């Protein structure tokens, strides 16, 4: 997918940073930050409107996953009939506090946070099923690696491991009931989110504007999430400067405070056994100093709640929901003090009546306004979004359209919000191109070994120029070294309504080893080099389907590098073909899918009239489908076949079998024939579980059952000659791509051990 850094690399970087959550060095305040026009940011000073004058303020501190404890505190406050007059939050406290201020009940907030797929939130990928077919094919072709931007200043990297696209969409969906509210004082409870101007180190109080964006800024942990750019100010996690924003609540005029501190404790000396641990401790010490200074200002009328969260980490969302009970327990322990804030039944019911989400039906979209100042391809986004005009707003439908565009990989983010102008309701969409683009360099490396003397490496360098026109023209160049060596250049031009059609011109050279095998013996080995050029037209009617047709010409050279040249001479053969095919793909993951299916049916006609050696016709088919999946276990079925009719003299019409999960146990590409049949069942178990993926790499245990063979002619096909095979493997989904270590056995006594990189799904290249 997608996209920026490889998703798993992002998770690794996130782990290193999120271990400290919002515990970051407090930069000394500089000059007061200017008030922003979009989301109003105010320097810390008394608010003249004092919306909480004489009332009770709820102050929710930052702490990452530890902040889930705030929900338990809110539940107990409601049981005790304790109303509050305003809410102030930092980081996770801004999420919980913002939802509470908007009118959600603690039970609703609990259900919402429980339903979150945190792995998806801590990723910028919209999910593979939402991607267009080009992006899906890219995932199958690309080995893992790192992406850089290329510009006049050299190589560039993004400002964070994540851009926060999925987090922003989640917050926008949650807060749609209050989309009309621009002044946070007009929420059911006045609310303030605290962020930090990373340029000055000053705390910034967000009081007006786009509420989801304000909360997004407050939780933007540096190096994990990119800063939120609000009219020249780069805003990051408020915990850097004010993790427990007591002063903000005082400035709103609050007479009494209920403060919830979920900061991480200092580690004992025995746990300070690495540079990362020492750095984390140093930052925690500095952060605690500022927090304790704020807490020291609390008076006898205030209540401080500190849930006992033990060693729960700020990034440990897998176990975060135990914090709800701890928050409740801490509030129960302070019930005598909290009852001083309680009101009677009538007053409580009146407060509840005011503290509710706004009602009403979803609005009809009267217009779409796509802000194009920050994107070369804004007209394409506008074309795709115009279909929303006249329809009742649906967040799911809008998200799907945005996900399709975002998944194409050239956007830093695509934000949207509902707006009102002159009595009409509109959808305002702001696509922002990657600030480190529009040219990108991706590098990747993988290794392979069958422990029988066939070891190799695969290096990839890809240079991609994007946004060459308003429809998203790209010029992609790829250099491969190692087991498969070569170079390919491709010009890709979308066109038509919503860029559903495309044309591409491509050319290049590729070389790969092809053994000549008899039984268990390798008799010779050729280095097969293919030089080709071609053109293709295609139509993607939906994100799941592609129809394509094209033609290509080229030449294959067979250079003998192992064997007797008198028996196996080197030679060259030209080819020319036209092809047409249909592809479907709605798999949810390119490497270890858990739902969906992919099929590819292609007909190719090799023609002497176009410059080939002979005439031949070939139909090729592949099919992979997830048959069954539960929480951790998956069964994937696959079929592959081809049949050739014609002269039988076109080498390019041959199919190959052999290698890991392609008749495991055999040497890679050991079988070559014009007729091919192959089937497999692959089962794999996620040993880590989906929750663990937030802070680690998925680890799998799997096995396969396989059968297949090749024949030279259709009359020779005999399914009694099928070769049966199987494998057992362990696999790691790493930043460099999936890594498999396994053993395969095929009938006839073939047993091979494998170290292999690559996806379970293989794409047919015409």
Locus of tokens 């076949």: 641
Conformational region of residue 17, where left means phi above 0, alpha means psi within -120 to 50, and beta covers everything else: alpha
Nearest to 224 by CA among 299, 314, 348: 314
Query: Other CB atoms closer than 10 Å to residue 756's CB: what's the count?
Result: 20
Copy the structure tokens of residue 312: 């729960």
Nearest to 165 by CA among 98, 102, 226, 90: 226
Question: CA dist 575 to 153, 189, 263, 554, 653, Å?
Answer: 44, 73, 68, 5, 10
Candidate list 6, 110, 138, 237, residue with the active-site label: 237
Nearest to 26 by CA among 228, 216, 242: 242
Q: Residues 6 or more apart from 270 whose CB is under 8 A from it? A: none
Query: Do residues 171 and 207 lie in contact, with contact meaning Cβ atoms separated by under 8 Å?
Result: no
d(CA 369, CA 388): 11
Copy the structure tokens of residue 598: 């992919």
Q: Residues 6 or more apart from 163 whose CB is under 8 A from it? A: 4, 124, 225, 226, 412, 413
d(CA 8, CA 735): 5
Query: Other CB atoms closer than 10 Å to residue 628's CB: what's the count?
Result: 11
Locus of tokens 């908007």: 102
Asked about 91 being catalytic, the answer comes back as yes
d(CA 746, CA 724): 6
Q: Residues 6 or more apart from 391 whose CB is under 8 A from it? A: 364, 365, 397
Q: Residues 6 or more apart from 1 whose CB is under 8 A from it? A: 7, 125, 126, 128, 131, 135, 138, 139, 407, 409, 590
Backbone angles phi, psi at 302, to 5 degrees: -100, 160
Query: Do residues 234 and 227 lie in contact, with contact meaning Cβ atoms separated by under 8 Å?
Result: yes
d(CA 56, CA 62): 20
Which sequence positions are flagged as catalytic? Answer: 91, 237
């Amino acid at each position: 997918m997608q996209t920026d850094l490889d998703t798993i690399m992002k998770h690794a970087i996130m782990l290193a940073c999120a271990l400290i959550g919002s515990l970051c060095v407090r930069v000394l305040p500089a000059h007061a930050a200017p008030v922003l026009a979009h989301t109003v940011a105010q320097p810390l000073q008394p608010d003249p409107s004092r919306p909480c004058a004489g009332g009770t303020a709820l102050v929710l501190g930052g702490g990452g996953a530890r902040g889930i404890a705030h929900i338990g505190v809110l539940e107990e406050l409601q049981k005790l009939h304790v109303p509050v007059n305003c809410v102030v939050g930092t980081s996770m406290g801004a999420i919980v506090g913002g939802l509470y201020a908007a009118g959600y009940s603690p039970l609703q907030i609990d259900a919402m946070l429980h339903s979150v797929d945190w792995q998806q939130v801590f990723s910028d990928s919209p999910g593979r099923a939402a991607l267009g077919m080009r992006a899906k094919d890219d995932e199958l072709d690309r080995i893992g690696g790192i992406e850089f931007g290329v510009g006049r200043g050299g190589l560039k990297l993004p400002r964070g491991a994540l851009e926060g696209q999925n987090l922003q969409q989640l917050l926008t969906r949650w807060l749609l009931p209050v989309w009309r509210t621009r002044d946070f004082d007009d929420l059911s409870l006045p609310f303030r989110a605290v962020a930090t101007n990373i340029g000055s180190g000053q705390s910034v109080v967000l009081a007006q504007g786009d509420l989801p964006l304000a909360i997004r800024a407050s939780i933007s942990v540096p190096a994990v999430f990119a800063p939120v750019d609000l009219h020249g100010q780069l805003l990051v996690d408020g915990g850097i400067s004010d993790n427990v924003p007591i002063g903000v609540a005082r400035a709103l005029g609050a007479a009494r405070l209920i403060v919830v501190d979920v900061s991480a404790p200092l580690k004992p000396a025995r746990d300070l056994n690495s540079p990362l641990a020492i750095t984390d401790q140093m930052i925690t010490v500095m952060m605690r100093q500022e927090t304790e200074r704020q807490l020291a200002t609390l008076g006898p009328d205030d209540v401080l709640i500190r849930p006992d969260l033990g060693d729960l980490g700020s990034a440990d969302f897998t176990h975060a929901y135990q914090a709800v009970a701890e928050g409740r327990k801490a509030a129960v322990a302070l019930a005598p003090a909290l009852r001083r804030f309680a009101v009677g039944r009538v007053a409580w019911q009146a407060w509840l009546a005011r503290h509710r989400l706004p009602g009403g039906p979803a609005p009809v979209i009267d217009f779409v306004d796509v802000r194009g100042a920050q994107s070369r391809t804004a007209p394409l986004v506008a074309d795709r979004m115009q279909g929303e005009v006249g329809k009742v707003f649906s967040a799911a439908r809008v998200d799907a359209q945005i996900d399709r565009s975002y998944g194409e990989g050239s956007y830093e983010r695509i934000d949207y919000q509902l707006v009102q102008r002159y009595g009409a309701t509109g959808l305002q969409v702001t696509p922002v191109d990657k600030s480190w683009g529009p040219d990108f360099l991706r590098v990747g490396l993988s290794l392979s070994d069958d422990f029988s003397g066939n070891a190799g490496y695969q290096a990839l360098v890809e240079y991609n120029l994007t946004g060459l026109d308003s429809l998203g023209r790209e010029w992609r160049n790829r250099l491969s070294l190692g087991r498969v060596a070569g170079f390919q250049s491709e010009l890709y031009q979308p066109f038509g309504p919503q860029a559903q059609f495309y044309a591409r011109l491509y050319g290049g050279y590729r070389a790969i080893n092809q053994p000549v095998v008899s039984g268990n013996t390798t008799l010779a080995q050729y280095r097969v080099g293919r030089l080709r050029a071609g053109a293709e037209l295609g139509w993607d009617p939906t994100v799941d389907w592609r129809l394509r047709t094209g033609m290509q010409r080229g030449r294959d050279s067979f250079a003998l590098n192992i064997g007797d040249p008198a028996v196996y001479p080197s030679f060259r053969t030209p080819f020319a073909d036209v092809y047409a095919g249909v592809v479907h793909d709605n798999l949810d993951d390119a490497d270890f899918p858990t739902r969906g299916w992919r099929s590819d049916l292609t007909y190719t006609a090799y023609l002497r009239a176009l410059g080939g050696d002979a005439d031949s016709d070939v139909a090729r088919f592949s099919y992979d489908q997830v048959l069954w999946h539960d929480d951790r276990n998956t069964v994937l079925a696959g079929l592959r076949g081809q049949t050739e009719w014609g002269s039988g003299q076109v080498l390019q019409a041959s199919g190959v079998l052999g290698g890991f999960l392609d008749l495991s146990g055999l040497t890679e590409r050991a079988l070559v024939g014009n007729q091919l049949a192959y089937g497999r069942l692959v089962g794999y178990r996620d040993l880590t579980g989906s929750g663990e993926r937030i802070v680690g790499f998925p680890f799998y245990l799997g096995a396969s059952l396989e059968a297949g063979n090749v024949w030279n002619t259709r009359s020779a096909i005999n399914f009694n000659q099928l070769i049966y095979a199987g494998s057992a493997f362990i696999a790691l989904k790493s930043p460099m791509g999936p890594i498999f270590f396994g053993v395969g056995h095929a009938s006839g006594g073939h047993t091979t051990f494998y170290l292999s990189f690559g996806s379970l799904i293989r794409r047919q290249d015409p």
